[in-house]
Amino acid sequence: MNSLNLMRNAVCVAALFVGGAAHADVTAADVWADWKSQMAFGGANTVVTGVEEQTGGTLTVNDITVSMDDGNVEFTSNLGSMTLEEQGDGTVRVTVPESYPISMTFDGDGTVNLLVSQSGLEMIVSGTADALDYDYSAQSVSISLDNIVDGDVTINADASIKMSDLTGQSTSRPGDVREITSTLAVASTDFLLDFQAPGSEGEYVVASGKVEGLDFDGKVSLPDDADFENPDDLFAMGFASEGVFSVDSAAYIFDINADGDQATGSVSNGASTFSSQISIDALAYATQTENLALNMTSGDFPFPVEIAMSQIGFGLNMPTGQSDEASPFSLNIDLVDLVINDMIWDLLDGGRVLPRDPATLQIGVSGTARPLVDIMDPTQSAALVGGQLPYELGDLTIDTLNVTAVGAEITGDGAFTFDNTDLETFDGMPRPEGNASVQVNGLNKLMDNLVSMGLIPEDQIMGGRMMLGMFARTVGDDQLETTLEVNGEGHVLVNGQRMR
């Protein structure tokens, strides 16, 4: 948690120098007071400035140094001097140095020295004294590694992140809970790492990448009296965050030589999105990437590895705050059109018996559930007895079931409600009521193929076919279907036959 706290503080300081329009008069002194407030709010242990000079509507602040120390990591940045110039239209133009250093020392030992550089930075502050808005743009902003000092050893490497053609806005609204909103658009972002391990026999890591069309839109609610060293009550005090991050495309290449083994390859993807929301009431997370591709050659494999998917995604949405009413939840997993190269297939199926069509796994469920405790409160969660679940399930729907691989396909859907007043019918489980159906195509052909490959003996397959005959009915050529129903009396029926 201490490291997360320090990173949060460092980001707050960096955001001030590249970050956040309304219509009212704001002065240079107002902006500088807001910066000092935000740096203190961000957790800066020490903010040192030289002479503050006011000439007309221009305020110059000299020799700004910010330092923070959480006991594990010490952060120091010499931000230099900045000017805040009133524009005569109620706005203030902020000018900061084109570059400034940052150093981070870990546990009093190794130190990482970075350099922040920016070109064509324009920052205009507007609004009112207690509600400032920042609009900014830059031709480029980059963070590069100067060196790493570990005892008597100084390690030099080329490592950098460069954002080009960026624009953004940010606002900060004070109060018992400070509301911070921000948007950022970056035309392209370049990554570079070229590292030679000191004292090694030619070990290195070389990697580069480019991201096109990066966008971010986020909001954070930060309690003014939040104690990030003791975060147990953080959410109860009002902490919350939400954001959406997206890119149009990305591509990376790498070449790694370690312990005598070399690996080279590339990774690329199309449009990608990532969103998250967390508060005392709800937790949501979703990510989706289109057209993911990995190509790699390595000494650990006798052939190239090629993997591609048209879509990969994961989503989770769940209530977290204790309530007397049930709230919606959902979970989904998507792996669509997974393809691997024939050399990998040949390891698994040298005789090429199995179909090598793209494989898909899609599962999606939704429903309602009532949280019995505040999940974000560690004290309440720890008070749950034994294996007691923190939720009371109201209903469950199978929205998506789609599994396709090696010539077989499974699909299905269903819906159930749960009676939480009846915990006897199903031995402590709330009594379900509803039905679900599953369709399977190509299963018999798959079993035949597994026998011909010698993976499963014929007698075991025969037993499996007999079991299928008990729980599934034939509805077409190598097409099976099973329907499961639980009625209001607690009876369980499979294809209309009562099993319980």
Quick: pLDDT tens for 66-107.
888 877 888 889 989 999 999 999 999 999 999 999 999 988
Beta-strand runs (E) in 351-390: 359-371
pLDDT score, position 4: 40
391 with 436, same domain: the answer is: no
Say whether 344 sits in a helix, a strand or coil: helix
Which of 406, 429, 452 is a domain's end point?
A: 406
Residue 163 is assigned to a structural domain of this protein: no
Which of 373, 388, 406 is a domain's end point?
A: 406
Cα 444 from Cα 472, distance rounded (Å): 12
pLDDT of 44 above 60: no
Say whether 124 sits in a helix, a strand or coil: strand
pLDDT score, position 386: 63
pLDDT score, position 18: 47
Residue 120 is assigned to a structural domain of this protein: no
402 with 414, same domain: the answer is: no
pLDDT score, position 156: 85
| Across 199-207, average pLDDT | 85
233 with 355, same domain: the answer is: yes
Least confident of 208-217, 235-244, 365-374, 378-387: 378-387
308 with 452, same domain: the answer is: no
pLDDT of 22 above 50: no
The pair of three-digit structure tokens given for residue 63, joined into one six-digit string: 């020799």
Residue 86 is assigned to a structural domain of this protein: no
Cα 145 from Cα 153, distance rounded (Å): 16
* Predicted confidence band of residue 7 (pLDDT cuts 50, 70, 90): very low
426 with 496, same domain: the answer is: yes
Domain housing 386: 175-406
Residues with Cβ within 8 Å of 22's Cβ and at least 6 positions away in sequence, in order, are 126, 127, 128, 131, 133
199 with 218, same domain: the answer is: yes
pLDDT digits (tens, 9 = 90+) for 386-425: 667 789 999 999 999 999 999 999 999 999 999 999 999 9
| Across 279-284, average pLDDT | 92
Residue 414 is assigned to a structural domain of this protein: yes
Least confident of 366-370, 378-382, 486-490: 378-382
Say whether 11 sits in a helix, a strand or coil: helix
Least confident of 42-51, 123-132, 164-173, 443-452: 42-51
339 with 440, same domain: the answer is: no
Residue 77 is assigned to a structural domain of this protein: no
212 with 335, same domain: the answer is: yes
Least confident of 83-92, 93-102, 192-201, 278-287: 192-201
Q: Where are the alpha helices (DSSP H) in 177-245?
A: none
Average pLDDT of every residue of the chain:
88
* Predicted confidence band of residue 235 (pLDDT cuts 50, 70, 90): confident
Mean pLDDT is highest, among 65-69, 163-167, 302-306, for: 163-167
Identify the helix (H) or strand (E) that includes residue 448.
helix 443-452
Cα 490 from Cα 299, distance rounded (Å): 58
Q: Which of residues 109 and 432 earns the better pLDDT score?
A: 432
401 with 435, same domain: the answer is: no
228 with 367, same domain: the answer is: yes
pLDDT score, position 400: 97
* Predicted confidence band of residue 174 (pLDDT cuts 50, 70, 90): confident
pLDDT digits (tens, 9 = 90+) for 313-344: 999 999 998 899 999 999 999 999 999 999 99
419 with 491, same domain: the answer is: yes
**pTM of the entire predicted model:** 0.84
| Across 275-303, average pLDDT | 93
**Cβ(217)–Cβ(244) under 8 Å?**
yes
Q: Cα dihedral angle (456, 457, 458, 460), rounded to 10 degrees?
A: -80
Number of domains in the chain: 2
Residue 400 is assigned to a structural domain of this protein: yes
Least confident of 137-141, 229-233, 307-311, 362-366: 229-233
Beta-strand runs (E) in 224-373: 240-247, 249-258, 261-269, 272-278, 282-298, 305-319, 327-340, 359-371
Residue 64 is assigned to a structural domain of this protein: no
Which of 406, 433, 450 is a domain's end point?
A: 406
pLDDT digits (tens, 9 = 90+) for 209-221: 999 999 999 999 9
299 with 442, same domain: the answer is: no
Residue 289 is assigned to a structural domain of this protein: yes
Cα 270 from Cα 291, distance rounded (Å): 5
pLDDT score, position 460: 86
* Predicted confidence band of residue 230 (pLDDT cuts 50, 70, 90): low
pLDDT of 17 above 80: no
pLDDT score, position 164: 97
Cα 91 from Cα 84, distance rounded (Å): 10
Cα 160 from Cα 149, distance rounded (Å): 17
Cα 291 from Cα 6, distance rounded (Å): 36
pLDDT score, position 412: 97
* Predicted confidence band of residue 231 (pLDDT cuts 50, 70, 90): low
* Predicted confidence band of residue 306 (pLDDT cuts 50, 70, 90): very high
* Predicted confidence band of residue 225 (pLDDT cuts 50, 70, 90): confident
pLDDT of 43 above 60: no
